[in-house]
Amino acid sequence: MNGTTGLPPDLQPVPNASFDAWVAAFKPRALNRGISSATFDAAFAGAGFLPGVVTRDGSQIQTRRTLEEYLSIATSDERVSKGRAAFSRLSSTFSAVEAKYGVDAKIIAAVWGMESQYGEKRGQIPVVSSTATLAFDGRRGDFYESQLIAALRILERGDTTPANLTGSWAGAMGHTQFIPTSYQEFAVDFTGDGRRDIWSDDPSDALASAASYLARSGWRTGLKWGAEAGTGGPQGRTIQPQRGGVQFTVTRNFDVIKRYNNSDFYALAIGHLSDRIGGAGPLQGSFPADANGLTKADRIAIQRGLTDLGYDVGTIDGVIGPMSEAAIRDLQTRRGVPVTGTATRAVLDLF
């Protein structure tokens, strides 16, 4: 099947007679929306029902992280260093994009870093299969049918091929993770080759498309997104998304970033990551201790202690996730203390 190499079994197409009947009934609707029969048939030749997409759609874990945790992941040392390297490597492209659209190039680099880890995680799931599966499943049938139509229009226009039209399980595509309808509205052909190719190893079209999105959403050239309060940033309203934590002053460009993802956390991450890519240091302020009385430095000390003992906790970032919890449980078992998997000060005493 197109584009499915290396995907887990539940994201491989499986026979489903009801899905096939839905596709057959959908075809006339697609043709009435301007999709040619040839494009439709080519798009669905390798497509099929993906059970894992339905599972993921029905069981999304809405983990409520604190802002400190969110920023620890979004602006990790690794993401900052990769961003600085990418920004330097593609400096001429970023300069050209900023010159054309008026959007700060470091903001575009930060969007790229947040959305696909600078192109490393663009998504491999065939978009026709994923959006068709979700349209058929019906939980948000109308929305995903509109995404499927938009995806077929991408193929109709010749921007890419069915095999290359890949993305996340929910249909977000390419370097900048555009859903198909956002692609139709904002994507641009920056390289001039006649295709708006946000999937290519060359990220030029994708970076320009993100700039196009922000520019058309009201970005004001020359205005910073905001800054940590008290650090001499631009005048703006003050926000404190985490009680007792760092305060920020933000401008109208902060709200423009939220048009990309309507979240204060996301917009702050983009802004702060862009500053870090530009050479700025970490936030100067601090966040309160967590519910277990630990600071970020304490949690990092636990992760480092576990790593020194041979455990794999993933990235050492002060965010206690499943890998850290599993390591804590194992260590507690070995030390003969109550097994909780929770990072506490008592865990620090085990090292």
Q: Is the pLDDT of residue 302 over 90?
A: yes
**Average pLDDT for the chain:** 95
Integer CA distances (angstroms), 97 to 79, 92, 154, 210, 222, in order: 21, 9, 23, 10, 14
Percentage, residues of the chain above pLDDT 90: 93
For residue range 103-144, list pLDDT tens digits in order: 999 999 999 999 999 999 999 999 999 999 999 998 888 999
Residues 167-206 pLDDT 10s: 999 999 999 999 999 999 999 999 999 999 999 999 999 9
How confident is the model over 30-65, as pLDDT tens digits? 999 999 999 999 999 999 999 999 999 987 656 689
- pLDDT band per the 50, 70, 90 thresholds, residue 316: very high
Neighbours of 38 (CB within 10 A): 10
Question: Looking at residue 60, what is its pLDDT?
Answer: 65
Is-contact 299 314, C-beta < 8 A?
Answer: no
DSSP 226: E
**What pLDDT does residue 6 have?**
79
The mean pLDDT value for 261-289 works out to: 97
> What average pLDDT does this structure show over 14-24?
97
Which pTM does this prediction carry?
A: 0.93
Please check the confidence at residue 2 and state whether its pLDDT lies above 50: no
Give pLDDT tens digits for 227-249: 999 999 899 999 999 999 999 99
CATH topology of domain 67-120+217-277: Lysozyme (1.10.530)
Q: What is the pLDDT of residue 1?
A: 38
| Residue with more model confidence, 270 or 138 | 270
Helix (H) or strand (E) holding 274: helix 264-277
Confidence of residue 147 (pLDDT cuts 50, 70, 90): very high
The whole-angstrom separation of Cα 255 and Cα 259 is: 7
pLDDT over 90 (residue 341): yes
Cβ–Cβ under 8 Å, residues 178 and 165: no
pLDDT for 221 beyond 70: yes
Q: Is the pLDDT of residue 216 over 60?
A: yes
Q: CATH fold of 9-59+123-188, please? A: Helicase, Ruva Protein; domain 3 (1.10.8)
Select the more confidently predicted residue: 65 or 226: 226
How much of the chain exceeds pLDDT 70, in percent? 97
Write down the domain spans for the chain.
Answer: 9-59+123-188, 67-120+217-277, 296-348
* Predicted pLDDT of residue 3: 44
